[in-house]
Amino acid sequence: MPGKSGRRPLGQPLLGAPADGIDPYLPKNGNLGYRISRYDLELEYKVSSNRLAGDATLTATSYNELRRFTLDLASTMKVARVLVNGSRARHSHRGAKLSVTPADPIPPGGAMTIEVRYSGSPRPIRGPWGEVGWEELTEGSLCANQPNGAASWFPCDDHPSAKAPYRISITTDSPYHALANGVLKSKRTRASQTTWDYHQDEPMPTYLASIQIGDYRTKSLATKPIPVDALLPARLTREFDVDFGRQVQMIEAFVEMFGPYPFPRYTVVVTDDELDIPIEAQSFSTFGANHCDGTQDSERLVAHELAHQWFGNSVTLERWRDIWLHEGFACYAEWLWSQHSGGPSADELARYHHDQLAQDTVEESLADPGPRNMFDDWVYKRGAITLHALRLAIGDGNFFALLHRWTDKYRYGSVTTEDFISLAANFASTPLGPLWDRWLFTPELPAFPEPSPTPR
């Protein structure tokens, strides 16, 4: 990491991602000295015994000479063998770090193929945000990795800016449907097991990698402009048609507001179990049976998770302090959908939530809420109101043009708050510095924003 002078000490390794250093919000995650360019996961999962066996092949490039490097992997996974460029490598596995010593040092800029054979009974990782990672269901399993649960089921460089394509092959008991990120390339059934082979070609951070396994029926919602599907228990079909009945119209509306949908397809999963909150993953979202009750009360959550495909999955934060770039945008998408579908307007919802926020005192700024607070509801709501303030300041035309440019310029990339501030300046006729100071960098809640007298 940079020294106090801002210059990197000689020989200091790099993270291997755009963010030069370990994220201070999650200092135990992420690894130095290399960059992974592809994950290839061959997994086998026994539902009844919660037993996972994996062969992970990671393609990587070193940034400096590597005599030793580390990967993130939970201690519940036992490592049987590690190969680097085809040769056995010494390894040790303590805590949540797999330390690897190649037979020969990797030179700067050298290519690495890292193969890890491992197995175990995956369990969620406990932290300040509860339990995240691989989780058993009554019949099946799911993955809810955000922010640091990926290591519960595969070896990785668990940093949000370390994005890469994936191939995920999952073999499980044939009665179950298995879903992973990306596009299903093949499905093979042998005896009592079925292998599902998925390819996620668009770069993806580890926290969005996911597998869902359950006794699901498949329902096609649309084939154009992209395939839209649902996986759900047969008993919830009628309720699903109510609660998710406007899913396709929602996609069409967001394409108009935000730009082209960034992935080849979208899938909605509804588990037979109840879930506290829905779960985002790249190319699909997961909801609990409690979100599919025929009341349409969870439609705002349907909008929220869909919006993450643009804001979070395609355009991904470079550091966790900028979580408002995900959650504020997705929350504002809820309000935009409400107005689009005939409900309360975005302005009405912004005013309502501003009144609610005014009742509490917050000591952190939106631009740096702190690791324990980064998923607090005030971050979501204040982030959304910040976007509404920007919209009022620059006008609707410029605001939506900005969102289109944001999702286009940084498609599949990593971003910071400073990137958004810089881009927004191109869509404003007056300096936006005072707006950002009030809404992003000052803990005190500003007064509700008023429209600019002469929006351009």
Active site residues: 305, 380
Q: What radius of gyration, in Å, describes the C-alpha atoms of the chain?
A: 22
Residues 50 and 97 sit within 8 Å (Cβ to Cβ): no
Enter the tokens of residue 252. Answer: 């069409």
Phi and psi for 162 in degrees, rounded to 5? -90, 80
Query: 37 Cβ partners below 8 Å, 6+ apart?
Result: 59, 60, 61, 164, 165
Q: Which residue has the tokens 């002469």?
A: 454
- What tokens were used for 138? 């009554």
Partners of 35 in the β-ladder = 61
Query: Of 268, 201, 203, 202, whose CA–CA distance to 240 is shortest?
Result: 268
Q: Kindly report the backbone phi and psi dihedral angles of residue 188, in degrees, each rounded to the nearest multiple of 5, phi listed first.
A: -130, 130
Q: Is the dihedral of CA 262, 284, 208, 192 positive or negative?
A: negative
- Numbers of helices and strands, H then E, in the chain: 9, 23
CB 439, CB 366: distance < 8 Å:
yes
199 assigned binding-site residue: no
Q: What is the C-alpha separation between 85 and 106, in angstroms, rounded?
A: 10
Query: Mapping DSSP to helix (H, G, I), strand (E, B) and coil, where does residue 254 land?
Result: helix
In this structure, are residues 102 and 89 in contact, taking their beta carbons and an 8 Å threshold? Answer: yes
Distance CA 249, CA 247 (A): 6
Tell me the pairing of strands 316-317 and 217-222.
unpaired
The residues near 418 (Cβ < 8 Å, ≥ 6 apart) are none
Sort residue 97 into left (φ over 0), alpha (ψ -120 to 50) or beta. Answer: beta
Cα–Cα dist 210/149, whole Å: 10
CA quadruple 137, 143, 144, 147: dihedral, nearest 10: 150
4 φ, ψ to 5°?
Answer: -60, -25
Q: Is 327 annotated as a binding residue?
A: yes
SS3 percent helix, strand, coil of the chain, rounded to 5, is 25, 30, 40
Q: Which two tokens stand for residue 435?
A: 């707006």
Q: What is the DSSP letter of 48?
A: T
Report the distance separating Cα 155 and Cα 117, nearest Å: 10
Binding-site residues for Zn(2+), in ranges, read 304, 308, 327
Binding positions are: 304, 308, 327
